[in-house]
Structure 1
Amino acid sequence: MTDFEFAKSSYSGGDAGQQCVEVARNIPGAIAVRDSKDADGRILKLTPEAWTVFLKEL
């Protein structure tokens, strides 16, 4: 598996138990998103274009 370097999203809440999302953008051509409370869980992988569309919908 690719070594994504995750960082907590600025869209995440700050307190324990809140919705927390981590995003990795260190791999060219891929954006990875995961739940910070489940670091070993599933990873959603998007193209940069799909990520841009997703952010516009927020």
Structure 2
Amino acid sequence: MSWDYGKEERWLNEMSARGLHLTKGGAFRSEFERDETVRYAYGIDYQGGLSKKTAS
């Protein structure tokens, strides 16, 4: 089963429309901040297969 990124984006945009904006995302828990004066449009840009760079 793969992750439904479209569903996640719709949920985040609905939360923003209610005045709740993502400040920290996680697989099992996300944190939001309330600000009814703004509205954000969220988009998920998953880039699989990227390798981590290490500092030398």
> Which TM-score bucket, shorter chain as reference?
under 0.3
TM score, norm. by length of structure 2: 0.26
Comparing both chains, which one has the higher relative contact order based on Cα–Cα distances under 8 Å and sequence gaps of 6 or more?
A: 2
Q: Answer 1 or 2: which has greater strand percent.
A: 1
